Amino acid sequence: MPSWSNFQPFIPIGLAAGGVYALSGVGMVVLYRATGVLNLAFGAIGAMGALIAWSMINTWHVPAGIAYVACILFGGVATLLYGMVFGRLLAARDPLVKAAATLGLALLMLGVMNRLWPAQVTRSITLPTDNTAFTFGDASVDWTQVIAVGFGVVMTVGTAIFLRVTKIGTAMRALADDREITATLGVPVRRVEAAAWFGSGLLAGAAGLLLADLVTLASDGLTFIVIFTLSAALIARLRSLTVTFVAAMVIGLVDNLITPINSITNFRDMTPFVLAIAALLFFSRERQYSFARGGIR
Amino acid sequence: MRKHFGWRVRIPVAMLVVAVGLTIAATGFSKTSGAHAVKAAGLACGLGTGQKATGTPIKIGAIAVKQAGTDFTDIPNMANAYFQCVNDNGGIYGHPIVQDLLTDQTDPGALAADAKQLIETDHVVGIAGSSDIIDCAVNSAYYKKMHFNVLEAGIAEQCYSSPAEAPVNMGPRYSADGATQTAIALHAKKIAFDQSNVPGTQYNLGGSKLIAKAAHVPIQFLTEDAANINGETAAEKEVQAAGPGGAVVLVFTPPVALQILQGAQHLGLENKVIWTCATPCNTDFLATALGSAWNHKLYVNAEMNLISQDNGPNSVLYQKVLKLYGSNVAGGIGSFSQFGFLLGQLAVKGLLSIKSKVYTPQTVNAAFKALKNFKTDFLCKPWYFGPLPNNTDFTVYPQDGKMVLVPKSGCLPISTVDPLVKQVRAYEKAHHV
Amino acid sequence: MADSNVATRSRSSLRAAARLSRRDAINLLVVAGGVLFVLLALPSLLTPYWVVTSTSAVTFMIVALGLGLLVGRVGMISLGQGAVLALGAWVGARLLFATALPYPIVLVMTGLITMVLGTMIGLPALRVSGLYLALVTLMLAGAITVVLVDTNFPNGGSGFLGYADQSTGTPPSIRRPSIAESDPAFFRYVVIVALLMFLLALWHIRGKPGRAWAAIRQSEPAALAAGVNVTVYKMWAFALASFVTGIAGALLGSASHVLYAYTFPTSQSIVLFAVVLMGGVYTLFGAVIAGVLLQVIPGAFTVWGIPSEWATILFGVGVLQVLTTAPAGIAHQLPSDLARLGRFLFGVARRRIPAGGRAP
């Protein structure tokens, strides 16, 4: 069994990963609550944004700052476009159909990315905060990790406040509860939904950029990392932002803290799946129970 | 009804148009560089006549892996770039070479089908320029049965044990041997050997295990799921396994190696251990991405000589061909396109050696098998058709964003502690190759 | 007046029934003819490459059949069928290496073992449904992939896992049935197995389970109220789907003689779902189309030198298109579009001919 000093370095790594998962999870949950769409192309959109930023920096020699902004904006615009076309076409359908359609978008984008950014070329994005490590106990920490965690916290808190305080946020929450009634009340449903699509897309772009730096800048890796981030949102049953954040942090931490334990290190990537499955089955049991009680009353 | 039909057609058509447009926009300008006949004059490709070959084509097959994340098509593409240069310079006594490239997505069933397509349906006369993760494992028996002698950049164990295959590279095992030797030479107290968790891990580490044992250096073996890797996590794990004064040996494809090294950089781990790496790390791109923080801190076993420092005639020709004909070699200068170039040269040398000037699978594969004493400044020693002709190579490290040869490192013979190397050296001594 | 109306209606419905059975007969004839052609003539018409590719296509038709049953008949989306296929391939390879049993017996055993494993994957369906079921199965597929990457696929090694890493020379190959060692013979064998699987599915759909599934798909509470044992029939569907998928997995191993974990990435479950949707989940013919889409199109792209990414793009566009405009998939859309195209061409021709007649 490894000692505490072996585990320590993995704490900041795990927290940083958790921060980005939280960022993605919050983006997915907000969109799901406002529009009923679980965007499984979240990772693909972020990946394409990051690849565009890479091309801007390395091919067109655009200043890095502008490229990063372009990456985040691309996430917003691409998600908004999808929402305007397919979000509307599928508005009346089952959440399952809406989610399945985003799988189509993910595949389409994956194909286009592999076409435009072939894998013969090794790519990477290095944020200026990368090479600024400081040590903390036995762990070295860099500022990108701090940003990842901080961004995760700020976005979770910020989004929660936004949903509570602002008019459009309140409208989003109302939409989540009942679309028909909200529309009857005179809320401009389409505009609110557009805001949700765009905002969630911005988060996809930001998460893509951070993941490209912290994990990888490979189209397939970033596209399917959505399965990881999804588990945090699932544990929160696609509702609570706080639970999404906590779950994401726990997933990032557990996944990394298992690493030094040689006997199970190869299975550490099962962490999010196992946690999500357990949580879902547990919660659904609770739900059925309360349903039954409601029935008795 | 009509409106319904309209939607049904319009949406996918619009999306396809967008996808096609984007793709053409991105790849279109690279395709326009087709007219290079004039520029090619004076290049010593093949016969070097400067005349375009117009005879009946000679079809050479190749199979390369091309999937999300792993794409080795630079190797056949560079071989084909050389073929194009040869075709513009008289071809094979007037016959142009046509490449028949099939791509594979690591699907064993489809790969078996690919080999059959090349040999039995497309009737290629030879296979040269292949590079695939599982081609040797799946098809080497079939190649042997069909009497094909394949020129390739090998990966799997069977590429180095089948009499029907001759690689220009060492593959993961022998290059890792070299990296382990370097780590030991730098007085590593312990070695952490990390690689992708794909079939063949035991094969890849086999040589290093023996070499470390012979040198009385403890060695620990790790694996990563390369499809889903966090560079920082992997780097921290490796450094902990190596311990103070230890060394890390990385055996990964360039993207994954880069992820791990950048992860190490994020955490300031570049000085904690001796970092060594097998051939894939030998690209300027990696050196550039890592920056000067890694100056002289990553020892890479390089199967091919560096281009930036060595301006031998072969390296000069390689760069010219890459520039004129290699528009689809996305990775540019690097080991992969060097492998491809060498494979193209070997195939052409074989074809030109056929005295009868009759190009059938029998004559061509006999000519491939007879290849020997091919001198190039890419390699330390002349190349010959055999299981491991490339067994002595270079050591490089990054310096200010470029890879440079480690001063005074010279040619590093892979240790004869590894049984196949011992066998091959004995063969070379006996046959004076 | 009212009476005559009823009479007309009953007469027309009788006529409809007669027409339907005639259509059934025609369909049956077409299918039988198609199968005979595929069995007898096709292997000799195809090049070796296409024989192998078609074998994969037929194998994946079986996989699509299983997933189509879940999605189309019961309304349960599983994004874990790729993992079930990988499990089937693992079990099949393990049994083929471990035993010398006749091939069909190994196939059935593989199907049964995979059925048990696959039903376990389906267990969450008792708790959750709809979107959550899809996501739980996706998570399970992810977890299974992690395990399979670590265990690898059997290659004649010893022990429970049957995997030996230090292999030299040509790896021992996963065997084929002794009567179907060659590629064309194995193709025929796979077609016959696929045919049996389709008949098995048809038998279920036409029978009591099919009616129960239809009821569950319409409304679970209503099905419950009508006395359908929802739990049993949901698990039954998962069991049947896993059984056929397991058999497909065993065939896949024999077809390629060797299996690798990276042949079964988690994303395969997603692509599988995409092509099954595109093919159409409401008819068995949709599964045939899905198999063709998944294997024949990429196979053709390889030979034609079209980059494989186009297949991914095509599948993505296909999913969006099917979900927005044609929920019944190509199986439904193709005939109706062809009919529409025919009418359109006929209309054009009718308009053109007199015009052409008047011209010099």
Token reading at B361: 């699978």
Give the pLDDT confidence of B377-413 residue by residue, as tens digits.
888 889 999 888 888 999 999 998 888 888 888 889 9
In sign, the C-alpha dihedral spanning C234, C236, C240, C246 is positive
Residue among A84, A103, A281 with most chain C CBs within 10 A, to mutate: A103
Report CB contact under 8 Å: A106, C324. Answer: no
Are C112 and C88 in contact by the 8 Å Cβ rule? The answer is no
Looking at residue B299, its pLDDT comes to 95
Whether B167 has a pLDDT exceeding 90, the answer reads yes
Give the pLDDT confidence of C73-91 residue by residue, as tens digits.
888 888 999 999 999 999 9
Helices (H), chain C: 2-36, 42-45, 48-68, 81-98, 103-122, 130-151, 183-206, 208-218, 220-225, 230-256, 266-279, 284-291, 297-304, 309-325, 329-358
Cα nearest neighbour of C327 on chain A = A97
Burial of A152 (0-12, 13-18, 19+ CB in 10 A): buried
Chain A residues closer than 8 Å to C142 by CB: 227, 270, 272-273
Report CB contact under 8 Å: A105, C316. Answer: yes
CA distance B18 to chain C (A): 11
Give the pLDDT confidence of B191-213 residue by residue, as tens digits.
999 998 877 788 889 899 999 99
Tell me, yes or no, if B138 comes closer than 8 A to chain C by beta carbon. yes
Nearest to A112 among B19, B236, B336 (CB): B19
Backbone φ and ψ for A14, nearest 5 degrees, come out as: -65, -40
Interface of B with A in 178-197 (CB under 8 A): 197
Give the pLDDT confidence of C88-146 residue by residue, as tens digits.
999 999 999 988 899 999 999 999 999 999 988 888 777 777 888 888 888 888 889 88
Beta-carbon contacts of B195 under 8 Å, excluding residues fewer than 6 positions away, are B172, B176, B201, B204, B205, B221, B222, B223, B224, B250, B251, B252
CA–CA separation, C359 and C123 (whole Å) = 71
Domain extents in chain C? 30-265
CA distance B260 to chain A (A): 9
CA–CA separation, B326 and A64 (whole Å) = 29
Token reading at B424: 């091959």
Residue among B72, B131, B230 with most chain A CBs within 10 A, to mutate: B230
Token reading at C14: 């009788």
Beta-carbon contacts of A46 under 8 Å, excluding residues fewer than 6 positions away, are A24, A75, A204, A205, A206, A207, A208, A209, A211, A212, A222
Chain A residues closer than 8 Å to B69 by CB: 119, 218, 220-221
Tell me, yes or no, if C3 comes closer than 8 A to chain B by beta carbon. no
Whether A67 has a pLDDT exceeding 50, the answer reads yes
Considering only CA atoms, which of C225, C284, C220 is closest in space to residue C31? Answer: C284
Report CB contact under 8 Å: A215, B230. Answer: yes
Report CB contact under 8 Å: C320, A97. Answer: no
CA distance B102 to chain C (A): 6
CA–CA separation, A280 and A276 (whole Å) = 6
CA distance C319 to chain A (A): 5
CA–CA separation, C5 and A72 (whole Å) = 66
Mean pLDDT, chain B, integer: 86
Residue among A81, A94, A107 with most chain C CBs within 10 A, to mutate: A107
Around Cβ A256, how many Cβ atoms within 10 Å? 27
Whether A204 has a pLDDT exceeding 90, the answer reads yes
Question: Which subunits have 3 or more CB–CB pairs within 8 Å of chain C?
Answer: A, B
How do strand B97-104 and strand B58-67 relate by DSSP bridges? parallel
Whether B253 has a pLDDT exceeding 60, the answer reads yes
Are C27 and C202 in contact by the 8 Å Cβ rule? The answer is no
Whether A183 has a pLDDT exceeding 70, the answer reads yes
Helices (H), chain A: 4-7, 10-35, 42-58, 64-82, 88-89, 95-116, 143-165, 167-177, 179-184, 189-214, 219-224, 226-235, 241-257, 271-296
Tell me, yes or no, if B230 comes closer than 8 A to chain A by beta carbon. yes
Model-level ipTM above the cut of 0.90: no
Tell me, yes or no, if B359 comes closer than 8 A to chain A by beta carbon. no
Q: Name beta bridge partners: B65.
A: B104
Using left for φ > 0, alpha for ψ between -120 and 50, and beta otherwise, residue B364 falls in alpha
Indicate the pLDDT class of residue C359, thresholds 50, 70 and 90. Answer: very low
B297-326 in b/e form (b: 16+ CB < 10 A) is bbbbbbbbbbbeeeeeebbebbbbbbebbb
Beta-carbon contacts of B366 under 8 Å, excluding residues fewer than 6 positions away, are none
Interface of B with A in 59-78 (CB under 8 A): 66-74
Longest dimension (CA), chain B: 82
Indicate the pLDDT class of residue C261, thresholds 50, 70 and 90. Answer: confident
- State what percent of residues in chain B have pLDDT above 90: 44
Tell me, yes or no, if A230 comes closer than 8 A to chain C by beta carbon. yes
Looking at residue C166, its pLDDT comes to 59
Chain A residues closer than 8 Å to B283 by CB: 122
Give the pLDDT confidence of B57-72 residue by residue, as tens digits.
999 999 999 887 778 8
Whether A131 has a pLDDT exceeding 90, the answer reads no
**Does residue B263 or residue B62 have the better pLDDT?**
B62
Q: What average pLDDT score do residues C305-314 get?
A: 87
Considering only CA atoms, which of C60, C89, C48, C131 is closest in space to residue C303? Answer: C48
Nearest to A100 among C136, C311, C323 (CB): C323
Beta-carbon contacts of C136 under 8 Å, excluding residues fewer than 6 positions away, are A276, A277, A280, A281, C124, C128
Tell me, yes or no, if B11 comes closer than 8 A to chain A by beta carbon. yes
